Structure 1
């Protein structure tokens, strides 16, 4: 792309996204001012998968983070472009495979149905979920970008995202294509499955049991307060919704000043941020993004809005990175 076109694209794209973000934030602020929730709550039942499923995915994520940090510490120079592209494609296929396998295993071993897995029930709901994710992107892109820019301005980080370092060494169309695809498809697919669906979904069940919130119980699923700390059985509870008021308030809160449902959001958002250790200030600046993603899941209990927001966020970051690197 000619230098003039790159400069023009930068001058148009970033201000346009910032303006759309401010409009979206203004609209949401007006909803709050009028006494309406940012997003209507969708009733649900507790997820059927056990703590073992949660731990397995989190351990896989932890191993990946530690492995990446160890490799960064040992590396004396960046790998060749060909080696790097191969590693990107390998990681992309691995993440996609693990995520897809998770859905099948949760269905087969834990008896999770499409609603438990956060999947849309119709084509119309699918498009609505995608639209919701795009709106959420515009709502959070400006605050998250400003926080990230402020952190880098006040305390410049010595480490950069591996993708950025590799592209600064010498970008190519093949490298950018591999990175862009990995960032916009496998990464959101795996991370939203691991952090929102599996982790946050289980944390919501755990919080409900500790607070005596029975509205999300499945039929034949006892409270068993004395067994809360025990690992759940892999056998599935019935998928039927218990005959209780789904919008009833919990008997108490685990944290008095924190609304019910927000502790799982905060925990999943924090772990989501920490999963990006070694990427400069990303672990800090991505926690607010994780809060938005967690809120989306908590209100809808569907995974497509979260994946869409995550994918569009990463796509915008990749486009912005390409424009920055391409400028003289």
Structure 2
């Protein structure tokens, strides 16, 4: 039986796990062990987290009362099961994962032993460990947890400098989808805009340089005015002719990109309607124009 409360183990020494361990350690959490499949990750973690390092996940878990699984999504369930099968959990343990997409079911092998389970997912995108250390504070975390450990989950988020929002387990797929749209698909959207400039002979690098000030300005407007309030451009004005010219140009020069432009435009008409700068009739006119791809 483990006697010392709140001893933490980090299972998975990637960007997120290493950053979480680093921040919590600075907030006087007792990080007793870090485990990772690769020695390279453990070597990197040494620069950020004190404590025992091992490639044996069960060995690390045995030392702790709170185990945070920060592996890739496809490794969460296998890692949890491996720890359970090798005696790494007991009934007094708390086990969290940090996936936005996965339900708590992936922790069933820990729950079967009597452990309480939950997840704490940062709504943030990380490129490096150092970036994660600086970006986690101030982030919003989606928290899903059994009621007995919800307070602990909130305490961990608070220690990380974040804000917790409670997400029902059954709502996690759509919660995560929204995050993917805002982050991953946003990258795809900017790449799409770059590709339009590339079709005009502008290099990808110059195109991005041209677009970044516009992107930053739009994000600043969104922060101060909200999403609908930040909308500008022809659809926001109810200006049909520029949209028609766009569609004609797509049709003649880059027809393979026209469909995506139309789908984005159709949704944008709804945002303009929400903003209140176009009438329902004008929204319908623009929507039908885009629905038909500019065909009269």
TM-score for both structures, normalised by structure 1: 0.22
Higher relative contact order (CA 8 A, sep 6+): 1
| Greater strand proportion | 2
| Greater helix proportion | 1
Computing the radius of gyration over CA atoms, which structure comes out larger, 1 or 2?
Answer: 2
